Amino acid sequence: MSPAKQIMILIAIGAIALGGYEGWQHYDQKLAQSDAAPNRSAARVIPVETAPVIMRPMETTIEAVGSTRAKRTVEIKPFADGRVVEVAFKAGQSVEAGETLLRLDDEIERADLIEAQARLKDALSALKRAETLRKSNTVAEATVDTLVANVAIAQAERDRATRRLQDRTVKAPFAGVVGYSNVELGAQVETGDTITILDDLSVVEVEFFLSEDMFGRITPGQKVEANAAAFPGRKFNAEILSLDSRIAPISRSFQVRAFIPNPDRTLPAGMFMHLSIVLDADETLTVPEEAVVVDGNQSYVFAITQRDDGLRASRRNVSIGRRSIGYVEILGGLAQGEDVVIRGVQKVRENSLVAPKSARQETVTSEATGT
């Protein structure tokens, strides 16, 4: 046999051997895949926790913003001209009705009062003597009448002197909180000068606006929940006080006033407040908020559907409405009684095989085991 022919035979034998080896490898892989298929199918079953779509009461809440104002506010002004001899308050101080805020020099007024009191005393003494003498007809009736008039004049002078002295002291007309002082010790003030501002903060009012479509749904006495950024986590209970009788023609809104009891004077005038007004509660379709996935402008849930091969997850686009603590209103896309995935949502895809466990079952199991 020639060398060339021997080489050709060896090549043919090698090709046959190589083809057989590759065929065996392919068969072995197919067999391995066939054996692993049941395991992979089992691995694709995703354990999830579900909750039913149910009807539950949900409140309608209106949100608004406004600013506080004092129940009463007054500019404190002196009733007379004079030099300041005492400033008896500090900015932010709480004062009671009748408490002294400022005093003016009053030496002259005190002297005038002493003089008026002395004149009244003399007039009373003269009248008393005349009345005694009148009993013995020693003094004429006209003289007694004149002395009676003198007493009345002296009393009026005494009262005017008392008032002028009182006007040298500026007092708080009601209990409240004072602002900054506009005067200093020794300054000369005149009648009408504003010394400070006094706010009655025992109750604060909040003014805000609502759109005209809310006009028939707001009434005095309705409860309002208020909060302020200055007091995070704290809620203030308010109540609707009054409504404006007119709708603003440009903004198509109306003004509302609410009041907040403020006995500890925590809230100052002018503070920005966020308000929530609960209008009513109605039965509506809801799901737990954990079930809703937001993807851009679209919201969806995974509902559980029965298929021939088991339970599968089905993505449902939903329209959502109001939100309550832990729940979301469903306006469309689901029906009452359907189950939706609330735990394991991140593992689920469209048409995934799932092994659901309801939240109610989870609670019962936990209670039974004491965990």
* Residue written as token pair 């003498």: 133
Split at pLDDT 50, 70, 90, the class of 279 is confident
Q: According to the model, what pLDDT value does residue 15 have?
A: 54
Split at pLDDT 50, 70, 90, the class of 365 is very low
Mean pLDDT of the chain: 86
Q: According to the model, what pLDDT value does residue 368 have?
A: 38
Q: 333: left (phi > 0), else alpha (psi -120 to 50), else beta?
A: left
Q: According to the model, what pLDDT value does residue 366 have?
A: 42
Number of H helices, E strands in the chain: 4, 19
How far apart are the C-alpha atoms of 49 and 291, rounded to whole Å?
10
Q: Specify the DSSP element, H or E, that contains 330.
A: strand 327-332
Q: According to the model, what pLDDT value does residue 278 have?
A: 85
Q: Say if residues 269 and 73 touch (Cβ distance below 8 Å).
A: yes
| Residue 274, pLDDT above cutoff 60 | yes
Tokens of 331: 């306006």
Answer whether 0.75 is exceeded by the pTM: no
| pLDDT more than 70, % of the chain | 85
Q: Which residues on neighbouring strands pair with residue 293, listed in sequence order? A: 300
Q: Say if residues 88 and 113 touch (Cβ distance below 8 Å).
A: no
Q: According to the model, what pLDDT value does residue 39 have?
A: 46
Q: What are the two backbone dihedrals, phi and then psi, of residue 63, each rounded to the nearest 5 degrees? A: -105, 140
pLDDT digit string, tens, across residues 324-356: 889 999 999 999 999 999 999 999 899 899 998
| pLDDT more than 90, % of the chain | 70
| Residue 145, pLDDT above cutoff 90 | no
Top pLDDT among 368 and 293 is at 293
The predicted model gives 276-305 an average pLDDT of 92
Tokens of 210: 């609502």
Q: Say if residues 100 and 171 touch (Cβ distance below 8 Å).
A: yes
pLDDT digit string, tens, across residues 167-210: 999 999 999 999 999 999 999 999 989 999 999 999 999 999 99
Same fold, 44-58+282-356 and 62-67+204-280: no
Q: According to the model, what pLDDT value does residue 41 have?
A: 45
pLDDT digit string, tens, across residues 1-48: 555 555 555 565 555 555 555 554 554 455 445 444 444 444 479 999
Q: According to the model, what pLDDT value does residue 282 have?
A: 83
Q: In a 3-state reduction of DSSP, which class is residue 253? A: strand
Which CATH number among 2.40.30.160, 2.40.420.20, 3.40.50.10160, 1.10.286.10 corresponds to the domain 44-58+282-356?
Answer: 2.40.420.20
Write out the E strands in 53-143.
54-76, 82-87, 94-95, 100-104
Q: According to the model, what pLDDT value does residue 225 have?
A: 94
- 265-268 LR contacts (CB < 8 Å, sep 24+): 265/94, 265/177, 265/201, 265/202, 266/231, 267/68, 267/201, 267/204, 267/228, 267/236, 268/68, 268/177, 268/199, 268/201
Domain boundaries, the chain: 44-58+282-356, 62-67+204-280, 77-187
The predicted model gives 54-74 an average pLDDT of 92
How far apart are the C-alpha atoms of 227 and 238, rounded to whole Å?
10
The predicted model gives 207-235 an average pLDDT of 93
Top pLDDT among 270 and 281 is at 270
Top pLDDT among 89 and 144 is at 89
Residues 62-67+204-280, CATH architecture: Beta Barrel (2.40)
